[in-house]
Amino acid sequence: MAFEEYLDLDLRPRALVEPVPSDQRIAMIGLGRVVQNNVLPAYLARGYTVVAGADPDAGARERTKRHGVPAVYADYREMLDAERPDVVDINLRWDRGMSPLRIEAVEEAATRGIHILIAKPLAETYEQCLAIVAAVERHGVTLAVNQNSRYAPTFFACRRLIEAGAIGRLVSASISWDAARGVQHDPSFNTLHDVTVHQTDILLSWFDEEPLEVFADQTVRTPVGSVVTAIMRFEGDRNATLRDDFISELRNSWPASIAGDEGSLDGVDDIEVPEPGQPRMARGTLRLSRHSHPGVNVQVPLRYRYAPESFASTMGDLLLAARDGTQPWASGRNVLRTMRTLFAIDESARTHRPVSPSSIGPDAVPLARDAFG
């Protein structure tokens, strides 16, 4: 393919290109801040049919009504029996002792034949992750994980261009999260499981394989947070790095760079800025260069934004997969690979030793490439 032809590729996720079934009835379990600010607005903007929500918190239920959701419940089991949804979106907080409750909610939905989207991270422990995947496979329903950032415009375009051969064989990649002031700067905040999971998942979505080993470190937790770094080593003398800065306030960006044996990609995706009123969203950018054209790089056109489209794409991908009897790109089994690598990063940061993800637990079988986005 000629250099210029890569710019003609459609770099949007499947759910933003194909009509997504609008007759699939979606119910929400857990109605917290992210659901109110990002998930529900994304679903409604894309015309998805949200029929009900459940949360024991009366304030959360009241806020959900303002989105036009017709029914709210204190108990999600009552909701599942009364509404009989086709899909349930589980957003129970893993970090408030609710990870076992996630397994229960998955079992309750799966036994009723309901397809499931679950918020990242999949679970608090790898054993719990395996239990969730085993439950949906036992009952024959479809599971997707809301690793929405792999669907962000810059990062998804990188995967599409890698898949198309734009940079040849992927050799190395790096990604950083430069956070503005927010909950991530609280020293007690679990940065690895709530934020580093994004960068881990994005890197693995590019390499489409699990690293052989990782070496990670987390700085001392200062009064305003810490910095996490990690190196991943892949088959064939290839590597990746991530750096999550939860201390500095000089930057507010999400940069990434990718090197292949025939070309390179360099870009920045948009990021939410905590400001009064509506969050400000900046459009992502991406540049492509080819080693056959030294000194030349071109701007890659990106046709959507991080919000609401990345949140809508994970659910849309699940709805299409459930209709077609296929697997979504961010399926539970695919994301096991992300979680096992994340737990290896966590262990390496604590022990100051390289850790192989294969030492964490049973192997996670990767999806075929035709499941991609």
Q: What is the pLDDT of residues 262-278, one digit of tens each?
A: 999 999 997 654 444 55
The pLDDT of residue 124 is above 80: yes
pLDDT of residue 247: 82
Return the structure tokens found at 302: 């990106």
pLDDT of residue 248: 79
148 and 311 in contact (C-beta within 8 Å)? Answer: yes
Cα-based distances in Å from 48 to 23, 24, 327: 8, 8, 19
Helix, strand, or coil (residue 90): strand
The pLDDT of residue 281 is above 60: no
Average of pLDDT values for 352-359? 95
Cα-based distances in Å from 201 to 156, 175, 205, 264, 295: 12, 11, 6, 20, 31
pLDDT of residue 270: 75
Task: Give the count of beta carbons closer than 10 Å to the beta carbon of residue 107.
Answer: 16
The pLDDT of residue 302 is above 90: yes
348 and 216 in contact (C-beta within 8 Å)? Answer: yes
pLDDT of residue 72: 97
pLDDT of residue 225: 79
226 and 187 in contact (C-beta within 8 Å)? Answer: yes
The pLDDT of residue 69 is above 50: yes
Average of pLDDT values for 316-329? 96
Q: Provide the pLDDT confidence category of residue 54 given band limits of 50, 70 and 90.
A: very high
Of 2, 13, 6, 15, residue with least CA distance to 300: 6
pLDDT of residue 186: 65
- CATH topology for 19-148 is Rossmann fold (3.40.50)
Average of pLDDT values for 99-122? 96
Cβ partners under 8 Å of residue 237, min gap 6: none
Letter for the amino acid at 6? Y
Domains 19-148 and 149-306+329-371 fall in the same CATH topology? no
Q: Provide the pLDDT confidence category of residue 361 given band limits of 50, 70 and 90.
A: confident
Q: Provide the pLDDT confidence category of residue 187 given band limits of 50, 70 and 90.
A: low
Q: Provide the pLDDT confidence category of residue 108 given band limits of 50, 70 and 90.
A: very high
DSSP string over 145-178: EE-GGGGSHHHHHHHHHHHHTTTSSEEEEEEEEE
Average of pLDDT values for 60-84? 96
Q: Provide the pLDDT confidence category of residue 80 given band limits of 50, 70 and 90.
A: very high
Give CA–CA dist 228/241, Å, rounded: 11
Give CA–CA dist 252/179, Å, rounded: 5
Higher pLDDT, 288 or 249: 288
The pLDDT of residue 9 is above 70: yes
103 and 128 in contact (C-beta within 8 Å)? Answer: yes
Give CA–CA dist 95/104, Å, rounded: 16
pLDDT of residue 367: 38
Return the structure tokens found at 25: 């009835």
> Does the global pTM surpass 0.85?
yes
Return the structure tokens found at 27: 């119910």
Average of pLDDT values for 218-241? 91
Give CA–CA dist 331/345, Å, rounded: 21
Vertex 135, ends 130 and 140: CA angle to 5°?
125
The pLDDT of residue 126 is above 60: yes
* Residue bearing tokens 């770094």: 229
pLDDT of residue 365: 44
pLDDT tens for 231-270 read: 999 999 999 999 998 887 766 689 999 999 999 999 999 7
**Mean pLDDT across the chain:** 90
CATH 3.90.1150.10 assigned to domain 149-306+329-371? The reply is no
Give CA–CA dist 242/228, Å, rounded: 8
Domain map (residue ranges) of the chain: 19-148, 149-306+329-371
DSSP 358: G
The pLDDT of residue 85 is above 50: yes
pLDDT tens for 129-180 read: 999 999 999 999 999 999 999 999 999 999 999 999 999 999 999 999 876 5
Average of pLDDT values for 34-55? 94
pLDDT of residue 224: 74
Give CA–CA dist 151/170, Å, rounded: 19
